[in-house]
Structure 1
Amino acid sequence: MLLNKKLVLLLCWLNVTSAFAQKHNALYAEGLGTGLTGTINYDFRFKDDIITGNFKDALGLRFGVGLSPKYIYDVSVAMHPVATGGTKPLVLLGVNTFQDLSYCKCAGDDIEFGANLLYAPKNSIADKWGTFKQTDRFIPSINIGYRRQKDEYNGIVLRLCYNPYFLDGKLHQWLGVSVGYHFN
């Protein structure tokens, strides 16, 4: 039953992305960043901006998955969560846009802005870095940073972002580095 629901959700997501995503896709691995430990991400533009005609001005969607070590709170070992050797899945959904750094006359050098929501299940990295609540969590974050992605060509994507996230009512400072491939 659960597998059927997941399959239906996946097919719906693929249908929506194929309906809106005409070109300018990116697939990249991010270390640290909005997924906290690291994620594999798929990023696409909905369509070119209707005013400027530029894909960079258009709103984009980001979907990522990652793994977190599994933690338990074991008072016999320590007064804090300890890793158990297992893993927990992390799921990331975000929106973003990026703008040309045209003043430097470097095609493909951009500044990226985004807002994200990370799903972290109980006993994941969120319980290690936040208050150990043993509950599923949704962790909001933003990203502001440099993105290297050529306009018209397939090629390498490089990202370096500042990724503050909000956990247990506190703002945590964080960075992320990404490497991947851009394709039309």
Structure 2
Amino acid sequence: MNSQHDTEDEQAWVISHQPDLSDIGFELVTPDRNTGLLKQLAHELSPGHPIYGINANVLGAFSGTDDILLKLDTEVEGARYALVHLTWGGTQTPPWPSTQLIADLDEWLASVMPSPERMAEINKFNEARRRREQRRHQLSQLGFYLFMVLVIVTLFLAFMTQVKPEWFGL
């Protein structure tokens, strides 16, 4: 019962922090993906690893990396959470897969969030990229329309070279 309540607390935390988590590439995982990630984790862990033999639940994964955020069922060195970088290889020798134990999710999030200045740079970069993509799309559309006009004019001219004046009563 307590484990169910804990899981609901973590899910509520993830939902309440979703905008910040999205900024750092965090994604929620489906139940199927959760199962697959836990199987991969179990495959990689070996005796001597800090979280070997500990049940866990995947809170989410990070896009573009092989990192997963885990809620541990048992406290390890004062931590109830772990950030694990899966290797997608076979069984690893400790300390692999690399693992960061996390005691407090809020402190962890604050430590990994970019500074406001860095976020402004990231947002500026993303906005410039969005504008470039928009211009590229507009130019692509313009090119298509110009091509269509060229085709129509070519067909018209081809037709007109075949026209006989008597067709129009001239």
Same fold (TM over 0.5): no
Q: TM-score, normalised by structure 1?
A: 0.22
More strand as a share of residues: 1
Bigger Rg over Cα: 2
Question: Whose RCO is larger (CA < 8 A, sep 6+)?
Answer: 1
